[in-house]
Amino acid sequence: MKLSVDEVIEKYVGSFGLSQMLQVVLVSFSWVFDSQNTLVTIFTDAQPSGWRCKTSAINASLSPSWCMNDTAGGGGNEGQLAGHVCGLAAGSWEWTGGNSATTIAEWDLICHRKFLAAIPTSLFFIGSIFGCTFYGRLADVWLGRKKTLLLACILTSITTFFASLSPNVWIYSFLRFANGFARSGNGICSIVLSMEVVGNKW
């Protein structure tokens, strides 16, 4: 019976030791940052919890409970004032969580600008598609997987940091595209680096 080199190594050296476990754990740690960038949209681009009329901007005879609305853009039965923020004058209402709670609240991505709220997330995943093709070639032909993984982690950190400082939705969208492009290298390189050092049993 003829044994391959891999089978000989597994039989006499072992298939999974401390060094392999350490590499798998360290390499897999990059997925933590990758998952954060993928899931952060749920919180940063979320619909704000609610809005309320500013009491100074409405008739003082109206009670605050009549003016309140629990869902942004919800349709109440109390009339135009309480039913929808699009029908209110600018400056006559405010978000209950503050203007910096989400990107929708910060950049007023409601009413006629509502479609803009989906652009950053869409561009993030489009960037991920382009990044997969780029990093696959980069890892296989030029840099190797370890250097490509390091590059992906550095670029992901840089684009994430600058995305958090975005002054408007357009720059934020561009940086989310760049972030999606950058993070693609994490998954491509990490899965191979984690699997290639362990034996058939694992």
Is residue 58 pLDDT above 60, yes or no? no
pLDDT value at position 61?
44
Overall average pLDDT of the 125-152 stretch = 89
Please check the confidence at residue 137 and state whether its pLDDT lies above 70. Answer: yes
pLDDT band for position 76 (cuts 50, 70, 90): very low
The pLDDT mean for the chain works out to 78
Exposed e or buried b per residue across 72-106, where buried means at least 16 C-beta atoms within 10 angstroms of its C-beta: bbeebeeeebbbbbeebeeeebebeeeeebbbbbb
Listed in order, strand segments (DSSP E) in 45-142 are: 51-53, 93-95
- In the chain, the percentage of residues whose pLDDT exceeds 70 is 78
CA distances from 179 to 84, 130, 133 (A): 34, 11, 15
Q: Give 85-114 pLDDT, tens digit per residue.
A: 776 666 777 777 777 778 888 888 888 888
Q: Distance between CA atoms of 127 and 178, rounded to whole angstroms?
A: 6
Q: How far apart are CA 38 and CA 196, in angstroms?
A: 25
Residue 65 confidence (pLDDT):
46
Domain range annotation of the chain: 5-44+117-195, 51-98
8 or 170, which is more confident?
170
Distance CA 139, CA 96 (A): 47
pTM score, whole prediction: 0.74
pLDDT digits (tens, 9 = 90+) for 154-177: 999 999 999 999 999 999 999 999
Distance CA 22, CA 194 (A): 10
